[in-house]
Structure 1
Amino acid sequence: MEFIELILINRLDGVILKYPHHDNVDGTVCITGHHLILSSRKEGVCELWLLHKNIDNIEKKETKVSGGILRGGSLFLKCKDLRIFQLDISSTSELNLLAQTLENLSTIQDPSLFYPFFYRHMHPIMENGYTLYSVEGEFTKVLATEEWRISRVNQYYTVCASYPKGVMVPKVIDDETLAAAATFRQGGRFPVLSYRHNNGAVLLRAGQPLYGPKHRRCRPDEAILNTVVSAGMKGVIYDLRSSNAILQQQNKGGGSESPANYSQWKIYNRSMDEVDNQQQLLESFSKLIEACVDREISSDKWLSKLESSGWPESVRNSLHTACIVAQHIHQKAEPVLLHGTRGEDATLLVCSLVQIILNPDCRTIRGLQALIEREWLQAGHPFGSRLRSGPYSASPARSAPTFPLFLDCVRQFLEQFPCSFEYRQCFLVVLFEHAYSSQFGTFLCDSDQERETRGVYDQTTSIWSWINQPDELTAYINPMYDPTPNVIWPSVAPMSYVIWEELYLRWLADQHTEEREEQYKVIRTREQHLRAQALQLRRELLELANQYYAPNTK
């Protein structure tokens, strides 16, 4: 397919752009295969370059004049980065042609036609971001223990289509056992190492066991898990689903581990169904953004609408679950296995948050990059499907903002521990934007296998290659950063949640009326008051704990 077949109009004069924070611009629109470009004849007026892939929804409003005659109208372009543009066009026929052209170009599904395959970086690449975070380099300390090894059983992606070629597994487990265990796990996602803490406790992740109504058993899978449990103790399995969800999956051939077959493990449920349910999570995100852009609502109703969206609860639940898992690892030195259904959403989210709690390396810029590579890209989170649409469009199958939910959770960490992270929240905003649409290939496709097959690693540039350039990197460094080896425990109380204004409200900030500004001032004051109360309570609890555990000096 050629782009020329999709472009019904490639140039249009006299278009008026209306956009928050800016004066109206009378200019010319040009359409290329990847961009909408609007330029003005006035000197000093910035051009608009908008990737078609960034367009989430197109609304057309035709203008009727006397006699019901149509005369032009407006296009409202709602973008995945949460911007909304209005293009006023005087001709109805040109309005329709431009609307159809943008619809054609913004809904292309073939990744090989996306902009990263056509983009050429202007400056020399100092390091290849695609090779920065190999499994060998990321698990150097783990390999030094001689208890773990890198298995290449998935070298040709035949055992598990969503896993990378190399995975960390117990050294005493051979590849034949891994292949057999893969047949017992959803999508072939057999248990692999996610993280090893400094006390030796490990975090594993997998897909759900295919237990089914016939109560299937798999001794190779049991062998993998029992290998990581020390004598005299038990491991912990957290199934990130409700009992009802597990029962429904069991009727379909899935389910959870049998206590009888996994006697060395304690099995718990920790429901995160709203994260693994793609449609529900996308609806929650859409309601959040709808509340954020509502300028007619009072502050009290706004807070109620925000909470009823379900998004703040998903953030708190994700952080709370991560804290529970981290406690098992850090305080009890117990090995933990996490899984939901496929193990591609809630599982990866919680594994990532646990490591931010426990591992100070993940609080650095390169550490977060490595975490995203390990726990999202190489671990098989389907970015291409999940981020196909944003909060403004109808939900196509498998779309869900799981990764934006992770970024919002990290934003909560930054709010509560402003000196513990090397990166500022603008770094998280950049990741949000580029995950949806970008000139870089990092977040393309659904798996390592698909990226390799489509030539992503050879024909596109990694976002890490760009971010790690010295001139670019300085913009993301937190000047208050004070490295600490300590574990950090986020507050998950309702009053601790902070709306991510710098992302969700950034395009509206200069548009507020004085009344709206006053409403936001009241909301921020209330949030600050509640956070101060929460911090005071935490301080009092810490003092009580120190008194209780203080050694007897008499």
Structure 2
Amino acid sequence: MTKKVDKVQLVDLLSNETTTTGSLHITPSHIIFRSDDGSREIWISTGLIGVIERGSISANGCALTIRCKHFRVISLLVPRDKTCQDLYETLRKIGEVVNVKDLPAFDIRNPQTNSGGWNRLEFSIEFSRQGVSSEWQETDINQNYAICDTYPNRLWVPTNATKNILEGSSKFRSRGRLPVLTFFYKPSSAALCRCAQPLAGFSARCVEDEKLMELIGQANSTNNNICLVDTRPLMNSFVNKVQGKGYEDVRNYNNMQFKSFDIENIHVMRNSQQKLLDACSSGRTITEYLKGIESSGWLKHLKAIVECSLFIAQSLHKGISCVVHCSDGWDRTAQTVAIAQILLDPFFRTIHGLQVLIEKDWLAFGHKFDDRCGHVGALNDEAPKEISPVFTQFLDCVYQVMTQQPRAFQYNERYLIVIHEHVYSCQYGTFLGNCESDRKDLSLSKRTNSLWTELDTRQDDFLNPFYEPFAFNEILDLDTRSSNFSVWSSLYNRFDLAAHPRENMYDSLMNSMEHVGVLESHIAAMRMKIAELRGLSASMIDSGLSSTEGVDDKLVLESPSSKESVAESELELVDDHLGRRVIRWQRLNEVYNCSSKRCMAEFSSNVERKIHCHNCGKIFCRRCVDMTSDESERICLDCAKRNQ
């Protein structure tokens, strides 16, 4: 299905005036707006369609607003009421996917030749890297997802835990999610385990579960104490007791202390984010903005998540093993254990390490990406209630940590924003499905592309120039006072260019470093050429003419004019080499579109990196530049063609 509507007007949301007239193209995978003069082209994956709003008709046309899941808002004026209604119904139908197999990821037009992204996590390799002690072992008790269909196929448990203990604990935990290892902190031999709430009610207990908790504590020979972290507000946990669930009675568990945190549920977080987005919308006064941010409670929620994560990290650092759960163990639990590992382990602060962490604690341990991101289930009345920005909050918390410790991370905020976009875009299979078993049933590794493989080709876009890899090997120190939490405007106001500096600090520094490197390489090449010319000149003076040449030729070569002509011809080669290099590069804040006349892609946000051609010094989008065959230079396609 392909649909085209002409004479559509794109409205500038800042000035609320019509700025561009063009055509709207709707395909199964993308919505495309293309201006009539070719100056603007906007592509939006259909997976990013959030809310479609149809306004009233006016003299200028009928208003249609597309609110996207990556926080872009497209406001259009459609010439006729009937055309607008048709567009509205078409876009709603595209955005309301019922079958996961209808998502764009399954329509692969360019299959990846390298499928390494699907093998990013191997539990045995990862736990070996962590240095897991002999007190822990791999078990196949969940083979074919026998005791828990939302857990990984292979689990790590205390060595002395028998099959009866594991099965008994699984039956006592919500969704069968028994306590299992997710991280081993080698410096103190403390373990971080995760699970779901117990089915305890007001009086129920489970001997097998109590024994498993005891074995988790005993797995650390230096400290048998264990801390049970319930991420939910205590009142919420108590309400769950009425439903036969709730929290552990520490009187039944040996050497256990209990700690509760006030991280709210998915419904509160969904409403909080909507209030945040309303506050960040254009046209508000400073007073309205600040009141909106405060009433949203978003920063308060981030603070609660980070404080809980810091407590877990500090406990492990002190040698106290922790078991963490919320209700079902796939939302708040995933957030806090993942942030705690980032605080403790420098590996998870690298580009590759963050991918492993997401694969482990979000994908393998069953965060429900389909439900939480609204990938599918639009015809189910309960589906909208399952949507919640849980993973967005996790990325926001990582960003908050990065702002306090900018030199501790290999990646920059662009990396987090790109991951966030593609969680929702559904162009890759990485974040489809609710758990590992879902992804196997869908054969995603064979039928879709991996986001990680794509990001591997763009690693230079995500590098942090301030990164010091060996300076932060201990637990990261954080200040969790409220004043240290701020709105992540690069994400929530990503497409509002007026809200950002004209030059991104990271990009400016990386650009300067790259430019210096190119100039130094150029200087080195010139020095080599000068040395060659000096050697040629000395050779001509010292040796005169070859013995095979005649006297007349010798006279010609020894004449001053002849020597000068030879030198001039060599210098012309140097000049030609210089002529293909521009010393001054275009400034980042002076360019708004790709310099390729065939492309002219708009840099609609700071996430789209502006890339310089090492040859002509102009700025291009990533699609219009490539590396030379020897990987030494990045040049635009036009210069590459001229140099052939």
TM-score exceeds 0.5: yes
Unaligned runs of 5+ residues in structure 1 are: 66-70, 513-554
Q: Post-superposition shift, 1:72?
A: 4.2
Per-residue deviation, residues 492-534 of structure 1 (Å, max 9, x unmatched): 101111221211122223279xxxxxxxxxxxxxxxxxxxxxx
The answer on 1:260 being equivalent to 2:260 is no
The answer on 1:405 being equivalent to 2:393 is yes
CA distance in 2, matches of 1:98, 1:451: 33
Going from structure 1 to structure 2, the CA distance change for 1:19 and 1:372 (only over 3 Å counts) comes to: farther
The answer on 1:13 being equivalent to 2:6 is yes
Match of residue 57 from structure 2: 63
Aligned to 1:460, which of 448, 451, 456? 448
Aligned to 1:376, which of 348, 356, 362? 362
CA distance in 2, matches of 1:143, 1:150: 14
- Map residues 412-431 of structure 1 onto 2, 5 A cutoff: 412-431=400-419
Going from structure 1 to structure 2, the CA distance change for 1:355 and 1:143 (only over 3 Å counts) comes to: closer
Q: Is the 8 A contact 1:195 1:202 kept in 2?
A: yes
The answer on 1:303 being equivalent to 2:305 is no
Match of residue 121 from structure 1: 110
Partner AA of 2:11 in structure 1: K
Q: Is the 8 A contact 1:53 1:107 kept in 2?
A: no
Q: Post-superposition shift, 1:246?
A: 1.6
Local SS of the residue matching 2:400: helix
Local SS of the residue matching 2:398: helix
Match of residue 133 from structure 1: 121
Partner AA of 1:202 in structure 2: A
Per-residue deviation, residues 455-483 of structure 1 (Å, max 9, x unmatched): 212211111111112xx110001111101
How many residues are aligned here?
Answer: 487
CA distance in 2, matches of 1:99, 1:355: 44
The answer on 1:509 being equivalent to 2:497 is yes
Going from structure 1 to structure 2, the CA distance change for 1:364 and 1:511 (only over 3 Å counts) comes to: closer
Aligned to 2:151, which of 163, 186, 190? 163
Aligned to 2:303, which of 307, 311, 316? 316
- Map residues 141-160 of structure 1 onto 2, 5 A cutoff: 141=129, 145-160=133-148
Going from structure 1 to structure 2, the CA distance change for 1:364 and 1:95 (only over 3 Å counts) comes to: same
Local SS of the residue matching 1:489: coil
The answer on 1:387 being equivalent to 2:387 is no
Per-residue deviation, residues 27-51 of structure 1 (Å, max 9, x unmatched): 22222222222223424x2422222
- Map residues 89-488 of structure 1 onto 2, 5 A cutoff: 89-121=78-110, 124-125=113-114, 127-141=115-129, 145-198=133-186, 199-213=188-202, 215-230=203-218, 233-272=224-263, 274=264, 277-297=265-285, 299-331=286-318, 333-388=319-374, 396-469=384-457, 472-483=458-469, 484-488=472-476
Going from structure 1 to structure 2, the CA distance change for 1:143 and 1:166 (only over 3 Å counts) comes to: farther
Aligned to 2:33, which of 35, 38, 44? 38
Normalising by the residue count of structure 1, what TM-score does the alignment of the two structures yield? 0.84
Match of residue 518 from structure 1: none
Local SS of the residue matching 1:39: strand
Q: Is the 8 A contact 2:261 2:304 kept in 1?
A: no
CA distance in 2, matches of 1:20, 1:347: 38
Local SS of the residue matching 1:229: helix
Q: Post-superposition shift, 1:268?
A: 2.2
CA distance in 2, matches of 1:156, 1:123: 28
Unaligned runs of 5+ residues in structure 2 are: 377-381, 501-644
CA distance in 1, matches of 2:497, 2:32: 25
Q: Post-superposition shift, 1:80?
A: 0.8
Q: Post-superposition shift, 1:191?
A: 0.3
Q: Is the 8 A contact 2:47 2:375 kept in 1?
A: no
Per-residue deviation, residues 434-471 of structure 1 (Å, max 9, x unmatched): 111131111111111111112212211111111112xx
Local SS of the residue matching 1:153: coil
CA distance in 2, matches of 1:511, 1:243: 39
CA distance in 2, matches of 1:28, 1:302: 34
CA distance in 1, matches of 2:227, 2:75: 53
Going from structure 1 to structure 2, the CA distance change for 1:244 and 1:74 (only over 3 Å counts) comes to: same
**Bigger radius of gyration:** 2
CA distance in 2, matches of 1:425, 1:511: 16
CA distance in 2, matches of 1:308, 1:64: 34
Per-residue deviation, residues 183-204 of structure 1 (Å, max 9, x unmatched): 1000100001121112101111
CA distance in 1, matches of 2:208, 2:56: 64
CA distance in 2, matches of 1:146, 1:403: 33
Q: CA RMSD in A?
A: 2.2
Q: Post-superposition shift, 1:64?
A: 4.3
Of residues 456-465 and 222-231 in structure 1, the stretch that sits farther from structure 2 once superposed is: 222-231
Normalising by the residue count of structure 2, what TM-score does the alignment of the two structures yield? 0.72
Higher relative contact order (CA 8 A, sep 6+): 1
Of residues 128-137 and 224-233 in structure 1, the stretch that sits farther from structure 2 once superposed is: 224-233
Local SS of the residue matching 2:118: helix
- Map residues 65-84 of structure 1 onto 2, 5 A cutoff: 72-84=61-73
Local SS of the residue matching 1:260: helix
Q: Post-superposition shift, 1:420?
A: 0.6
Partner AA of 1:352 in structure 2: A
Match of residue 24 from structure 1: 19
Q: Post-superposition shift, 1:222?
A: 1.7
Q: Post-superposition shift, 1:144?
A: 5.6
Q: Post-superposition shift, 1:19?
A: 4.7
